Amino acid sequence: MSCYYQGCSERGATKEHVPPKAFFPKDQRNQLLTVPSCERHNNAKSSDDIYVLAHICLNASPSNQSRDIFRDRVVPQLGFNRDALRKTLLADSVPHASGAVSYRVDQARFDRFFNALSFGIVYKACGRSLPPDYQASHVYHNFVDQSETPQERCLKEALLSFYAGEPIAALQFGQIKALNRSVYSTKVFGAPEFLSSITIVHDFFGRFRVTSMLSKKAPP
């Protein structure tokens, strides 16, 4: 079997968890999804995993298990390397009178994470890696971008509403049997055999949602 990562033809000699096992309680790891990975891409984004998990939990808390996972998986990491993660999370944070806090997000790190997650979901759905003529982009519905126009915000809401249901027969790219849906669930929309662009809806803790759009590049 080849590696799950887009554009990689190396042998998948190891297994990569999609999403990473750090996102799940220790007693539920027998329910995780895995895909074959080469040595180079196995945990290639591991430096981003806890960073992304921390922001997802902060955004989703206190729903479902997000608060417990933050306590068990993120808090122990805050003090490592001279409080590096704590300092990163708190950089440019803005406290509000209500007690809530807004955190600045490094989108490049989120994009790396969701690129790899989307590649893994595609492989899990059809047993093949995403062809090289696709490019990935991601819409983070829970994030607030101060530069967004009202029209752009409406488009984000419309996108979330459009993909709220199940794929119609012509767009059933593949089924993902995510067993721990209280932590993560996903849906994949696209014509089988890579005959169209692909849309993946990610849902964490029933609160944090991302729409990944894998679009075919225009021919040169």
Instruction: Note whether 137 and 200 are within 8 A (CB).
Output: no
**Exposed / middle / buried, residue 112 (Cβ in 10 Å: 0-12, 13-18, 19+):** middle
Average pLDDT over residues 114-123: 96
Closest listed residue to residue 36, CA positions, set 12, 8, 19, 5: 12
User: How confident is residue 119, by pLDDT bands cut at 50, 70 and 90?
Assistant: very high
Amino acid identity, position 175: Q
Entry pTM = 0.93
For residue range 33-69, what is the model confidence (pLDDT) as tens digits?
999 999 999 876 778 999 999 999 999 977 668 999 9
